[in-house]
Amino acid sequence: ITKEKLSYDEAAPSRILNIAKILEKQHNVFVIAQKAANVKGKNVYEIPKLGEDFLANQIFKIMVFFVSFYLMITKKINAFVIREYYYIPMLYPFAKLFGVKLLYDMHCFRYKELEVEEKRLKSILIKPIEIMSHKLAANILAISNGIIEDLPNNLRKKTIFLPNGINLEEFNNIDSDERIPKKYNIPNSKPIVGFIGNWMPWVDVLTFLEASKYVKNATFGVVGEPYTSKSLNYFDEAYPNVIFTGRIKHEDAVKLLKLMDICVLPYKKAYIVKHLSVRKTLEYLAAGKPIIMSDSDTADKQFLKENENAVYYKGENPRDLAAKIMNLLGNKKLIKNLQINNKNLAKNFKNRYESGAWS
């Protein structure tokens, strides 16, 4: 059960689709999701969404509930894997009555994310419901160890670590495609410093963009969309040294990754970054890319050794990031070492993450 539109081009819906694909080997699987044009299937129940305002969101939730209840009765469902916490208390009384397990696919503490987004009232309102969901779930599927660490001891016992996995070979064997630079207007006259991912509030893309003002011997590239009211046209005008592709197909993103000389992992100094999946880092490793990342408290720091796998910059400091980029571009030996080390490091994660929920 999810509010997402099904697609293989984004992490959240592709995780859902791949969990379903794995489960289909031994079970009948039904997917309830928002209506989309990308993925169809006989066991996919698509729910239309009437808009993005508060009323439309509540109507959508109610429709998802009734479809879930219908399937619970008619298809004799044994278990639901639920991505959004609020469906758990909605379904729990009926799940209890019919002996159905509710598994929470936990990707965050939403009330903590809302604090970072400065939506404090909403955070206060949803916190008790979210905590209740953790308790009511039969099991919790956590995408990161950071999430597990922040759960109460009694809930850790029923929590299973199920990371966002990746197909490492897809990034290890990226074919060159001369059409890609032309398609996205990427010049080949300078090294490319890139970031791939959507701009969540705790992802510090602004520092990355500001750093572009101080680096004249490289082109910056951002693959993804901002979660702000400002359009890509605004950013195009404000940062002329940055190429913005917007949200693109996964296949194109992988090919763009091949063109990048340095990949950046920019995170704010926010507590919740420890809860994030390391999927993006694994993609960079598998592609053998030199990494520059902020010194924020992310899970990546547990295995990315400074000057062996990554160069660290002071978080939320664009001048320091720019300096680290220029220093690395001028150090061909370090670039080569990072490339080799990261290719090798990616192999250590092959079994652990390729057996996870691919995304």
pLDDT in tens, 308-357: 999 999 999 999 999 999 999 999 999 999 999 998 998 877 645 444 44
Q: At 164, is the pLDDT very low, low, confident or very high (cuts 50, 70, 90)? A: confident
By the 8 A CB rule, do 49 and 56 touch? Answer: yes
pLDDT of residue 40: 66
Tokens 């999946």, residue located = 277
Q: DSSP letters of 45-111?
A: EEE----SSHHHHHHHHHHHHHHHHHHHHHS--SEEEESSTTHHHHHHHHHHHHT-EEEEEE---HH
Per-residue CA distances from 225 to 46, 244, 289, 359 (Å): 25, 9, 22, 18
Tokens of 324: 């680290």
Helices (H) and strands (E) in the chain, counts: 16, 14
Task: Please give the residue that has the higher pLDDT: either 79 or 14.
Answer: 79
**pLDDT tier at 173 (50, 70, 90 boundaries)?**
low
Say yes or no to pLDDT of 35 above 90: no
Residue labelled with tokens 């500001």: 210
pLDDT the model gives residue 337: 97
The CA-CA-CA angle for residues 216, 219, 223, to 5°, reads: 145
The residue ranking higher by pLDDT, 9 or 68, is: 68
For 198-226, the pLDDT digits (tens) are: 888 899 999 999 999 999 999 999 998 88
Name residues whose C-beta falls within 8 Å of residue 14's C-beta, 6 or more positions apart in sequence. Answer: 7, 8, 250, 358, 359
Per the structure block, which two tokens stand in for 187?
A: 């010049």
pTM of full prediction above 0.75? yes
Distance of CA 184 to the CA centre of its chain: 23
Express each pLDDT in 283-311 by its tens digit: 899 889 999 999 998 888 889 999 999 99
At 38, the pLDDT band (50, 70, 90 cuts) reads: low
Q: How far apart are CA 146 and CA 27, in angstroms?
A: 30
Question: What is the pairing mode between strands 192-196 and 262-265?
Answer: parallel
Tell me what pLDDT residue 198 has. Answer: 81
- Per-residue model confidence (pLDDT) at position 230: 81
pLDDT of residue 354: 43
